[in-house]
């Protein structure tokens, strides 16, 4: 990047001279946009596992036409969100679906696309966030823990990954409610992923257990409370991920045969 190669336009100064009505003036060089986007990418703290996750390397399930079709629709929705941002009908996306179907991959892909467009963003894992907030109550906590809560409120675009992956307590419910409510009230773009079921998002709430008994799955509302849940639906367009086999398991087999076509 800029540190190793010198810009041919501005010679590294970050400024170039433009002529307007016969008068020359300084203008920011286009290379500065690249530098800014690079800095924003670092600041977003996307985990290394998802460093390269993009829409372009998201593969459609090639062995299952129904899932392929449904995933194709998901990609259309996601692409439309990116294209229209920030003038989207709702300021956020809520990815709902089973583990390993690519929710985090797609959410990161959206975040990265927005970072490239010059927006600032922040990736936060839900569990990690709660731990950081909890430890911030400790008087010995470092300032970075105290910043965690503030930073998720204020992030221009927030990706909250794996929402609800934690058992309930009143404290958790209040914290999540206040974050979601604050972001919703301020129309702050928020991308959320969750494995939890929600009947309104078309999940099957009753499923067969390994022993063959029917059992109820924990729902989003149970884990984060009904107030946070309803604000989330208000703020986010729901992206229901189709059922495909866990990509992590599939991917480790002869790769490319089951997930084939590029998106």
Ligand X SMILES: Nc1ncnc2c1ncn2[C@@H]1O[C@H](COP(=O)(O)OP(=O)(O)O)[C@@H](O)[C@H]1O
Residue choice 175, 193, 203, 219 for contact with ligand X (CB under 6 A): 193
One-character DSSP codes across 91-129: SEEEEE--TTSSHHHHHHHHHHHHHHTT--EEEEEHHHH
Task: Give the CA radius of gyration of the chain.
Answer: 21
CB of 100 to Mg ion, least distance (A): 8
Q: Which of these segments, 50-58, 146-154, 178-186, 230-238, binds ligand X (CB under 6 A)? A: 50-58
Closest approach, Cβ 20 to ligand X, in A, equals: 46
Distances in Å between the alpha carbon of 59 and those of 63, 85, 105, 166, 246?
12, 23, 11, 30, 13
Does position 59 interact with ligand X (CB under 6 A)? The reply is: yes
Q: Which is nearer to Mg ion, 29 or 103 (CB)?
A: 103
Instruction: Give the C-alpha separation, 68 to 113, whole Å.
Output: 23
**Which of 1, 9, 66, 199: binder of Zn ion (CB under 5 A)?**
9
- Report the residue from 40, 58, 91, 191 that binds ligand X according to the rule CB under 6 A: 58
DSSP category for residue 201: G
Selection from 170, 175, 214, 166 nearest residue 194 by Cα: 166
Helix (H) or strand (E) holding 192: strand 190-194
Find the binder of Zn ion among 5, 20, 21, 29 (CB under 5 A): 29
Binding residues (CB under 5 A) for Zn ion: these are 7, 9-10, 29, 31
Binding residues (CB under 6 A) for ligand X: these are 49, 53, 57-59, 97, 99-105, 193, 247-248, 251, 259
């Amino acid at each position: 990047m800029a540190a190793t190669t010198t810009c041919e336009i501005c010679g590294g100064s970050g400024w170039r001279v433009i002529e307007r009505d016969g008068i020359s003036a300084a203008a920011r060089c286009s290379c500065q946009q690249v530098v800014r986007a690079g800095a924003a990418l670092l600041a977003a703290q996307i985990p290394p596992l998802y460093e390269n996750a993009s829409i372009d390397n998201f593969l459609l399930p090639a062995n299952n036409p129904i899932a392929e079709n449904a995933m194709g629709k998901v990609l259309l929705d996601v692409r439309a969100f990116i294209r229209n941002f920030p003038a989207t009908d709702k300021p956020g996306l809520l990815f709902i679906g089973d583990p390993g179907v690519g929710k985090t991959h797609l959410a990161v892909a959206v975040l990265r696309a927005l970072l490239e467009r010059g927006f600032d963003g922040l990736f936060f894992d839900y569990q990690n966030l709660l731990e950081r907030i909890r430890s911030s109550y400790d008087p010995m906590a470092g300032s970075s823990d105290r910043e965690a809560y503030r930073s998720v409120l204020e992030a221009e675009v927030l990706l909250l990954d794996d929402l609800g992956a934690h058992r309930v307590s009143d404290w958790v419910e209040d914290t999540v409610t206040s974050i979601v409510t604050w972001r919703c009230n301020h129309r702050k773009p928020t991308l959320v992923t969750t494995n939890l079921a929600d009947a309104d998002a078309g999940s099957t709430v009753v499923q067969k257990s390994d022993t063959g008994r029917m059992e109820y799955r924990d729902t989003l509302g149970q884990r984060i409370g009904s107030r946070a849940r309803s604000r989330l639906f208000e703020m986010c367009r729901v992206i229901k991920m189709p059922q495909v086999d866990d990509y992590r398991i599939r991917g480790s087999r002869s790769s490319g045969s089951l997930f084939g076509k590029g998106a």
